Amino acid sequence: MKKITLVLICTLIAFIGYSQKKDIEVVSVKSEDAFILSAINNSNVQQEITLTVVQKNLKGYSNPITKLIPSKSNAELIKLFFIKNKRSECSYSYTFKPSLTDEEKNIQDQKLKEKTVTKLNNLKEGIVVFSKDGCPRCHYTTRYLIDNNIDFRLVDVTNNKEQNKTMWEFVKLENPIIETLKMPVLIYNGEVLYNIENLKEFIPTLKM
């Protein structure tokens, strides 16, 4: 009888996330009868991960899998079982987003309150973030800075004409004819930064 060797090929197609250290990592382990995919949450908050698998001759997957992974923990996502004497192949991709617990939200809200300033003095020193409610880019920026223990001051321009005016004064010093901009606006050691295209690559370069 001809011996057939089982071959498993599994590749990672895509990764979507942020920060220099990956918030979520997907690792694979081959056991005697299955291929196991697990997620590691390196971040300080709970993350929601969605895993998509394209497979051949593996059992155990039918639809994308979404799971909540608590902070600083790991969890098995799926176990794909081999089919005897069949060549098995798979590829997988995953996305993730923060899904904070109530306790984590309270902690983050408290930290943001501590960073929020109303006296607009010495704004050219350190890192200053002009932010507004309902701005995902602003939320990402402040969360990254908090999670990575980077000191900054937060100026909330939501419904605050004085602080909004101050923000625009800084921007117009750089570009007098500007009429619209993409938030957040940052002041980094005196340099005014706005309309930052690739925010997720730029923010990790900020250091104190």
Domains detected in the chain: 8-98 (2.60.40.10), 102-205 (3.40.30.10)
Q: Which pLDDT score is estimated for 91?
A: 92
Pair 47, 61: CB distance under 8 Å: no
Please say if the pLDDT value at position 16 is more than 50. no
Backbone dihedral angles phi then psi of residue 7, each to the nearest 5 degrees: -120, 125
- Please say if the pLDDT value at position 17 is more than 60: no
CA distance 173 to 175: 6
What local confidence, expressed as pLDDT, does residue 51 receive? 97
Question: End-to-end CA distance of the chain, in Å?
Answer: 68
With 0.75 as the threshold, say if the pTM is over it: no
- Longest CA–CA separation in the chain, Å: 84
What secondary structure does DSSP assign to the chain, as a single string?
A: -------EEEEEEEE---TTTTSEEEEEEE-SSEEEEEEEE-SSS-EEEEEEEEEESEES-SS-EEEEE-TTEEEEEEEEEEPTT--EEEEEEEEEEE---HHHHHHHHHHHHHHB-SS--STTSSEEEEE-TT-HHHHHHHHHHHHTT---EEEE-TT-HHHHHHHHHHHHHH-TT----PSPEEEETTEEE-S-SSHHHHGGG---
pLDDT, mean over the chain? 87
Gyration radius (Cα) of the chain, Å: 23
Higher pLDDT, 118 or 155: 155
Are residues 100 and 70 in contact, defined by beta-carbon separation less than 8 angstroms?
A: no
pLDDT, tens digit (0-9, with 9 covering 90-100), for 59-114: 999 999 999 999 999 999 999 999 988 998 889 999 998 899 999 999 999 999 99
For residues 107 and 117, what is the distance between their CA atoms, to the nearest angstrom? 18
